[in-house]
A and B are shown apart, each in its own frame.
Chain A
């Protein structure tokens, strides 16, 4: 039997939001307990983007779908460190124009871009955000070269990577996941981290949360044990899907999970004349010419990923898959006018997740795929394989026009790795689930401090925005408690 605990601060989830929350509050001298549903796995154990990593660190081993037409595949990290253990490590500051827009539309108090820059500066130093000191991989150069040939804006995105032993090649970089950065700091300050424990529901009384009922998932004899954590304050940082699901299970429903945002993403395999030598790495260049409407970047191009990218017309592409070392996988991620919904259902462990794309979204996906195709041809691709069921490969720029009619609701194979806004912050209570600093409406000691809080899609890799806002909210919490 696990003993019940008492803590000043309970943090549910240990991803980008939860880790920085635990660290900031522990370093301020508070007694912090972190409950994480997934396992604690050393980041040295598995190669990034390997099958073993998917099986151990992803929820449902990486297979999740939002219902809708078309359905959208998505992934969630489910391990200590959450999404930071499995993502690309690409870093963007919260864009000033996006912050100004959010401040205005959702009446968010004190969302000052200078103030947030201070937090971003700190996070960048803590995570060693930097550009690759030496040459970039070939797969990244493809984006740079093609974009420049067309006169498009291309950026080398900084990454949260450290280069040990003076080796400045991109292969030597070590991603600063939460288990390599913030979690050890939190532990050093006395924070307790409980992996393999799921929070079943929060215990409420009036406008206060008293604690959480938890389930320890993998005790050595195979049983599950329940225990309660009594807490003075609770920060829910379980991610855009699990945060609203937990709140709903706990009876907190107003503007919780009713509308979330994503960056729907469509992919394209591109075959080049010669092999790409770096298929296990994610390109660090992104094409921002069409931002905020859409951004192009590169994915992992290991053989398994390439085969998946080319499987949409298997009979036609099966022979080409043997050439997979010459294929790079690229993506276009769009700003979406549509929105999704998270619904926890009694008796089911996982919530139902749906997402509705608008016609404008579908059109934007088609448009982005065509512009991406132009870029890849400009950088020397000889053949493109769109992630569209039964769409034939594209062998020249003249054939790109066919993609307009190929990208339909029934044939497009979409995915997303960026989810936000399932709670939303701001003083516009009719649309937000939490106030301007993440306190859930109607509660005095219940907070959300993760991607769920961003009121809309930021249009860039979100980790930097999530962490800067979480850091700001911690500062506010400490100043006003």
Chain B
């Protein structure tokens, strides 16, 4: 992936920071970020993981990284995370998307509460830049098929996750506006790429069997981001001067019609010698509305079902423009969905996964 390892130099970029804190370091994005930063000479990495057993995931990618195991919600764990660091940069990549407890409360405790604690410690450590990883979910669905979200789109959060990420963003922006913390928000849509979690692997498997439902005619667009594109955007957000308090959408160059995403996955699977079913499960448009009603009902009761929630998004447009990041950060995504899905499938097979 040498094409991504551009060196950020010039007056528009700050010097490489002496130390960097990463939360969520054992996560999907976190692992790619650790790999990338671990290869930079002279950068001290301090990584937060939830369980002590996840330290190996970090050390496998960055042998010299310091690992702190602890709960993002724990003030004393965050004290340890920032202890002894001066002017670090911070990548806050830890969050809960699909709560393991099945309760929506966890979304707020971790995504808002954890962010509040991270920002407070970053301020006390005089962090030179906090890069807060956010999401499309505080913005819901595009109001029309051809619309794209940009930096001025209004909040219209969907579900507990969307509301929790919105509240976290508001806290980041408040502290940046006050000048208490130098902070930038990077909003990322649906990821794909190496180190993917089981839910994404399951996505590949159901696509292969023709069981992933194509709702409507498949022309609805979804923005996705290849995880190394996202890392590139994050590094630019970390070092770009004069952008504190700003927000950037970081995604692949263009949103994709849902049918193109499915075709890319199927092509990648075939290329790696995996037979793909001829049939394709199709559902009439409207299923997502029913799923959305059920999802809202469940979340109103504090409960969360991943499959219902995902289905509620299937025939909706969730598309964003990366023009802001291109203009202010010089962000140029190098990988598109065909190549990215190919690498993802290769990674899965390399890990010995059964697709």
> B160's contact among A150, A359, A366, A371, by CB below 8 Å, is which?
A359
> Which A residues are CB-close (under 8 A) to B338?
none
Shortest Cβ gap from B240 to chain A (Å) = 26
B167 and A360 contact, CB distance less than 8 A: yes
CA A398 to CA B80, docked complex, whole Å: 11
CA A371 to CA B77, docked complex, whole Å: 14
With both beta carbons as reference points, the residue of chain A lying nearest to B178 in the complex is identified as A153
B260 interfacial contact with A, CB 8 Å:
no
CA A151 to CA B167, docked complex, whole Å: 22
> Which A residues are CB-close (under 8 A) to B120?
150, 371
A401 interfacial contact with B, CB 8 Å:
yes
Q: Scoring A residues 313 to 326 as 1 if CB is less than 8 Å from chain B, else 0, what string do you get?
A: 00000000000000
- If A359-B302, A363-B109, A404-B113 touch, whether A398 touches B76 (CB-CB below 8 Å) is yes
A293 and B164 contact, CB distance less than 8 A: no
> Which B residues are CB-close (under 8 A) to A359?
103-105, 107-108, 160, 302
> Which A residues are CB-close (under 8 A) to B302?
359
Known: A290-B116, A367-B116. 9 other contacts (CB 8 A): A150-B120, A150-B124, A151-B123, A151-B124, A293-B171, A359-B160, A360-B108, A360-B163, A360-B167
CA A184 to CA B158, docked complex, whole Å: 53
Binding site for B on A (CB under 8 A): 150-151, 290, 293, 359-360, 362-364, 366-367, 370-371, 374, 397-398, 400-401, 404
For this complex, 10 residue pairs linking A to B, each with C-beta atoms less than 8 Å apart, are A359-B108, A359-B160, A360-B160, A360-B167, A363-B108, A364-B112, A367-B112, A397-B76, A397-B79, A400-B76
A397 and B75 contact, CB distance less than 8 A: yes
Is the contact region of chain B dominated by helix, strand, or loop, or is it mixed? Answer: helix
CA A400 to CA B79, docked complex, whole Å: 13
Residue among A150, A359, A374, A397 having the largest count of chain B Cβ atoms under 10 Å = A359
> Which A residues are CB-close (under 8 A) to B73?
370, 401, 404
User: Considering the complex, which residues of chain B in the window 96-124 have a beta carbon less than 8 Å from any beta carbon of chain A?
Assistant: 103-105, 107-109, 112-113, 116, 120, 123-124
CA A398 to CA B104, docked complex, whole Å: 25
B74 interfacial contact with A, CB 8 Å:
yes
Shortest Cβ gap from A376 to chain B (Å) = 12
- If A290-B116, A363-B112 touch, whether A401 touches B74 (CB-CB below 8 Å) is yes
Shortest Cβ gap from B151 to chain A (Å) = 20
B254 interfacial contact with A, CB 8 Å:
no
Interface size class of B (residues with CB under 8 A): 20 to 34
B87 interfacial contact with A, CB 8 Å:
no
A370 and B105 contact, CB distance less than 8 A: no
Shortest Cβ gap from B182 to chain A (Å) = 15
> Which A residues are CB-close (under 8 A) to B123?
151
Shortest Cβ gap from A345 to chain B (Å) = 26
> Which B residues are CB-close (under 8 A) to A371?
116, 120
CA A371 to CA B232, docked complex, whole Å: 34
Shortest Cβ gap from B176 to chain A (Å) = 15
> A364's contact among B74, B108, B160, by CB below 8 Å, is which?
B108
A367 and B76 contact, CB distance less than 8 A: no
Shortest Cβ gap from A272 to chain B (Å) = 20
Shortest Cβ gap from A151 to chain B (Å) = 6
Q: Scoring B residues 233 to 276 as 1 if CB is less than 8 Å from chain A, else 0, what string do you get?
A: 00000000000000000000000000000000000000000000
Shortest Cβ gap from A146 to chain B (Å) = 14
A366 and B75 contact, CB distance less than 8 A: no
> Which B residues are CB-close (under 8 A) to A400?
74-76
> Which A residues are CB-close (under 8 A) to B104?
359
A366 and B113 contact, CB distance less than 8 A: yes
Shortest Cβ gap from B165 to chain A (Å) = 12
Residue among B75, B79, B123 having the largest count of chain A Cβ atoms under 10 Å = B75
A367 and B109 contact, CB distance less than 8 A: yes
CA A398 to CA B74, docked complex, whole Å: 8
- If A397-B75, A401-B71, A401-B75 touch, whether A367 touches B113 (CB-CB below 8 Å) is yes
CA A360 to CA B105, docked complex, whole Å: 7
CA A151 to CA B178, docked complex, whole Å: 13
Residue among A150, A367, A374 having the largest count of chain B Cβ atoms under 10 Å = A367
> A370's contact among B75, B160, B164, by CB below 8 Å, is which?
B75
CA A374 to CA B74, docked complex, whole Å: 11
With both beta carbons as reference points, the residue of chain B lying nearest to A152 in the complex is identified as B120
CA A366 to CA B113, docked complex, whole Å: 9
CA A293 to CA B73, docked complex, whole Å: 17
A374 and B108 contact, CB distance less than 8 A: no
User: Considering the complex, which residues of chain B in the window 104-156 have a beta carbon less than 8 Å from any beta carbon of chain A?
Assistant: 104-105, 107-109, 112-113, 116, 120, 123-124
With both beta carbons as reference points, the residue of chain B lying nearest to A371 in the complex is identified as B116
Residue among B71, B73, B103, B160 having the largest count of chain A Cβ atoms under 10 Å = B73
With both beta carbons as reference points, the residue of chain B lying nearest to A398 in the complex is identified as B76
CA A364 to CA B74, docked complex, whole Å: 15
> B75's contact among A360, A364, A374, by CB below 8 Å, is which?
A374
